[in-house]
Structure 1
Amino acid sequence: MPLREIHRDEISCVRRVPLFSGLTEDQQDLVGALARPLVLSAGELVHGAGERSRRLSVVHTGQVKLSRTLPSGHRRLMRVAGPGQTLGEHGFLTGGPTLEEAEALTETRLCVFSHDDLAALVAEHPSIALQMLRNLGQRLAETERRLAQSTLEVDVRVADYLLDQPLLRETSDSAPATASSAVSPRLRLRLSKKDIASILGTTPESMSRALARLTASGLITVDADVITLLDATGLEALLAQD
């Protein structure tokens, strides 16, 4: 890829990420000049757990899954970072080691900033540090929500996850419309059932049984990785009961 095209991509990466949204376009262009491209194949690590990574990464394309190994030895998927989302704020702000292993879920392109470059940016633009703190606060709130849900029935956890997913638009990337899907919102499971089950703190088998029960109750239909929400109000009622 020509150098000018790489540089243009990094500027585009900076402009799409909330971390730098408080900067002017000219300032974003200057930040983009500091970004270093990193392309990973599926399965490659951005960093391991416990490493002292001296960089912050922004996902330009692809997905990165972040997981922790629990004291029991089981690995728990914590979150999946997609385009515009960031990795590494905790290490930058605290100076501590990374808490999670970060692995490319698909072929992924990152925009990477070194610790020194980032420190200079924060000194000049404090809004970047404030946005980092907001990001960490949002993730902490989400982690606490997942922990609180871990005591709920699996059906409730699955219903909450489905309601939290972006809906499909009726375009060529979605499955053909059916009589039910023409009027009912639909979504695509972007992760494997194994990974979703890990996020929800359950097993793939338990998740599959929960999907079957929700289907039998007339709340959803399942067609491979596409879920039709036949009764979103009913799904919401499950959450209200708990």
Structure 2
Amino acid sequence: MRDYQPVQIVSLLSRIPLFEGLSADELARLAKSTREMRVSKGETLFRRGDPSTGFHVLVYGQMKLALSSVQGTEKVVEIIQPGQSFGEAIMFMEKPYFVFAQALSDSLVLHISKTAIYEELENDHAFVRKMLAGMAMRLHQLMIDVEAYSLHSGTQRVIGYLMHELVEPQQKDDNVVLELSANKGVIASRLNLTQEHFSRILHDLSALGLIVVDGKRICIPSVPKLRAHQLA
């Protein structure tokens, strides 16, 4: 893995929403404790039980956070997209990772040491609020997931996912096209469904004329009709 020079890491950090508003000096201090990691598709960034020495930010690519049983069954907890950070809560708890992280595509990840983060938190209250807001949003999403798994049907979960994937703001509600952000197996696991169940739901929605499936591309002829079916 090739290391970036400090000035390049500062440039990468400055593009991450979490670090917006930090001064050049603050970014430079963080850069000294940041290392760049290139992770190839299928490669594991960290495993369950590994010690946490900081947290990560995804610059480009895609990562999944997942649990794996002794039988080999996998449950995807979260799909990380560019600009997102992950691992903050474990860093603050000073516990080992309880999930593993694996690249879904060739990715560039920044690892920022907890020592540097602790120093910045002591000096910048706005940065504290941003980190708290990020963790609160993740907790809120977890509660939404628990509600969906407990109270919503598989079809409702799939439609909810498609609604979430729509690019905002939508300029029109007819013939909207989106591309699935990951393969169907990963998305199914994220929605707490088997891949077969997920594919069957897509087939049923297609048979009803609510979507048109072309590989990873999904065309929605009418967003209001699809949303109404979710609420039915």
Partner of 2:85: 86
Residue-by-residue CA offset, 1:77-101 (whole Å, 9 max, x unaligned):
0111121111220122211222311
Alpha-carbon contact 1:56-1:89 (below 8 Å) kept: yes
Asked whether the equivalents of residues 176 and 222 of structure 2 are also in contact (C-alpha less than 8 Å), the reply is: no
1:114 CA drift (Å): 1.5
Correspondence 1:44-55 to 2 at 5 A: 44-55=43-54
TM-score (norm 1): 0.84
The answer to which of 19-28 and 146-155 deviates more is: 19-28
Give me the whole-angstrom Cα distance separating, in 2, the residues matched to 1:13 and 1:74: 36
TM-score when normalising by structure 2: 0.87
User: 2-side partners of 1:194 and 1:51: how far apart?
Assistant: 26
Quick one: which amino acid aligns to residue 115 of structure 1?
K
CA separation of 1:163/1:7 partners in 2, compared to 1, >3 Å: closer, same or farther?
same
Q: Is there any run of 5+ residues in structure 1 with no aligned partner, and where?
A: 169-180
Matched, 1:164 2:164: yes
> What is the deviation of 1:226?
0.5
Contact 2:104 2:182 in 1 (8 A): no
Contact 2:58 2:80 in 1 (8 A): yes
Matches within 5 A, 1:1-242: 6-69=5-68, 74-151=73-150, 152-167=152-167, 184-241=175-232
Q: Is the 8 A contact 2:210 2:222 kept in 1?
A: yes
Q: Give the number of aligned pairs.
A: 229
The superposition leaves residues 176-220 of structure 1 with CA deviations (integer Å, 9 ceiling, x where unpaired) of xxxxx9x51110012010000000101111111101111111111
Q: 1:29 to 1:184 in 2, by over 3 A?
A: farther
- TM-superposed deviation, 1:8: 4.1
Report the CA distance between 1:234 and its aligned residue.
Answer: 1.6
Tell me the distance in 2 between the aligned counterparts of 1:137 and 1:72.
32
- Using the TM superposition, give the Cα deviation of residue 29 of structure 1 relative to its aligned residue in structure 2, in angstroms: 4.3
Deviation at 1:71, TM superposition (A): 8.8
Select the structure that is richer in strand: 2
Judge which range, 192-201 or 116-125, deviates more: 116-125
Q: CA deviation at 1:49?
A: 1.5
Q: Name the CA distance, whole Å, in 1 between partners of 2:71 and 2:58.
A: 31
Paired letter, 1:27: E
Cα offset, 1:9, TM superposition? 3.4
Mapped contact 2:29–2:116 kept (Cα < 8 A): no
Question: What is the one-letter code of the residue matched to 1:199?
Answer: R
Which stretch shows the higher mean deviation, 67-76 or 46-55? 67-76
* Mapped partners of 1:93, 1:71: distance in 2: 28
Distance of aligned partners of 1:166 and 1:234 in 2 relative to their CA distance in 1, 3 Å threshold? closer
Q: What SS is found at the alignment partner of 1:14?
A: helix
CA distance in 2, matches of 1:87, 1:132: 11
Distance of 1:150 and 1:113 partners within structure 2: 33
* Bigger mean CA deviation after superposition, 93-102 or 156-165: 93-102
Distance 2:86 2:2 in 1: 26
Which contiguous aligned blocks of 4+ residues in structure 1 show a shift greater than 6 angstroms? Answer: none
Instruction: Give 5+ residue unaligned stretches, structure 2.
Output: none
